[in-house]
Amino acid sequence: MNEQKRIEFEADRILRLFSNSGAKIVQPAILQQADTLLDLYGEDIRARAYVTSDPFNGEMMLRPDFTVPIVKKHMNNLMRDETARYAYCGKVFRRQERNSDRASEYLQVGYEIFDRADVVKSDTDAFCIIKKALGDLPLRIVTGDIGILMAAVSGLKTTDRRKRALLRHIWRPKRFITTLENFTNDLSSSTERFDGFDEETSFGKHAKEIGLRSKSEVIKRIENLLLDSKAAPISTTERGVLNSLLNIGDKCPKALIQLKALLPDMPALKSAIEKFERRLSALDKANVDLSVIDFEISYGRTSMEYYDGFVFGFYSENNINLPPIATGGRYDALTKHIGKGREIPAVGGVVRPDLILQSKGFEDND
């Protein structure tokens, strides 16, 4: 059996497992509408998408993943069938760097859950079915929870505008830190040049707009800077809590202890930490050994932009140079965005059968 046949055989095995677990098999089209879907992906996937133009259908792209098209399909049918589980198998397409050894097209097998009854149970089901698909492969498992960081930002004693700015940059760690540092400092001296700002005096009645930003955009930016300069800096206590939070990286039980230690200084974390604790309890009851699973508060922030809660990844211990063999997470906000206000909690994960075989092959050669 050649390599491609072995990959397809492995993919069929995983798809059968997902189908036998109650999922309906679906197959989104390879060509997807780029103008409506591309902006829903993070910066990394947007930059790597294959985009083309169709004279009748407009800008199209080869699907870079399955989750976004499946969410679109489900939200279009939400009134008819709210709760659902889907499974799928097919190729995704992502451009790679020149001379990269990573494939630009590869098979994915995935499992998605749409259910508002019990989000902790859904998180546990998604994690466990993906883990089961990987069998007894030696793995390093990493989890995170972007929802905890979002709760911390939402609980800051600062302006709503500053909170929105920080939430926008959660998936861009360097920009997040820069923005946080700006809001921790006193900005009043940096905006003194705008004191007494007057639109007509500053621009003139007949000034031409020659820059990339319009006059109205420049004025709005100045107004926002002035508002920021009048707001009190984020306190050193809250900044310290965020620093401690961002540095959490340990096995799940120890991470829970570290998170609870932050509650006295940031009570807004209580609900998110309680959900994390319930999830750990559910995973434990499902016979998942939490003592070997890592938890990193920042896990997924650079590569999983539409995830906004529990996230997870499975990595080969046989070959640490492989990309993640499987990843997944919760994406409630994505359903609301695509559903134009209608929403349903959703979580899922994807497996790469080619990487399973590569990891097994590396093990066999030892």
Distance CA 97, CA 95 (A): 7
Report the pLDDT value the prediction gives residue 43, as an integer from 0 to 100.
64
Q: Which residues pair with 61 in a beta bridge?
A: 32, 51
Structure confidence by residue, pLDDT tens digits, 114-149: 999 999 999 999 999 999 999 999 999 999 999 999
Quick one: fold of 1-135+345-366?
Answer: BirA Bifunctional Protein; domain 2 (3.30.930)
Enter the pTM of the model. Answer: 0.85
Q: What single letter denotes the amino acid at residue 117?
A: A
CA distance 259 to 256: 5
Q: How far apart are CA 331 and CA 345, in angstroms?
A: 7
Number of residues that make up the chain: 366
Measured CA to CA, the distance from residue 203 to residue 290 in angstroms comes to 61
- Taking the C-alpha atoms of residue 277 and residue 256, their distance in angstroms, rounded to an integer, is 7
CB atoms within 10 A of CB 321: 8
From the DSSP assignment, how many helices (H) and strands (E) are in the chain?
15, 12
Residues 186, 192, 195: CA angle, nearest 5 degrees: 130
pLDDT at 269 over 70: yes
**Other Cβ atoms within 10 Å of 347 Cβ, number:** 26
**Mean pLDDT value across the chain:** 86
**Amino acid (1-letter code) at residue 111:** Y
Residue 98 or 173, more confident: 173
**299-308 residue pLDDT tens:** 988 776 789 9
Per-residue confidence band for 42, with pLDDT thresholds at 50, 70 and 90: low
Query: Higher model confidence: residue 360 or residue 284?
Result: 284
Q: Read off the pLDDT of residues 296-350 as tens digits, 9 standing for 90 and up.
A: 999 988 776 789 999 999 999 989 899 999 999 999 999 998 888 889 999 999 9
| DSSP, res 94 | -
CA-wise closest residue to 101 among 356, 333, 322: 322
- Structural element, H or E, at residue 314: strand 310-316
Structure-block tokens of residue 259: 């998170």
**∠272-329-345 over CA atoms, to 5°?**
70
**pLDDT-based confidence at residue 228 (cuts at 50, 70, 90):** low
Residue pLDDT, tens place only, 74-97: 998 876 668 999 999 999 888 777
The pLDDT of residue 62: 85
Whether the per-residue pLDDT at 227 is higher than 70: the answer is: no
More confident residue, 241 or 188: 241
Q: How confident is the model at residue 365 (pLDDT cuts 50, 70, 90)?
A: very low
260-265, long-range: CB within 8 Å, 24+ apart, which pairs? 265/237, 265/238, 265/240, 265/241
Paired sense of beta strands 310-316 and 326-330, if any = antiparallel
DSSP structure class, residue 118: -
Pairing of strands 346-351, 293-296: unpaired
The answer to whether 85 and 113 are in contact (CB under 8 A) is: yes
Residue 89 corresponds to which tokens in the numbers above? 């198998």
The boundaries of every CATH 3.30.930.10 domain in the chain are 1-135+345-366
Count of C-beta atoms within a 10 Å radius of residue 126: 23
> Would you state the pLDDT for residue 41?
67
The residues with which 107 forms a beta bridge, in sequence order, are 91
> For position 304, what pLDDT does the model report?
66
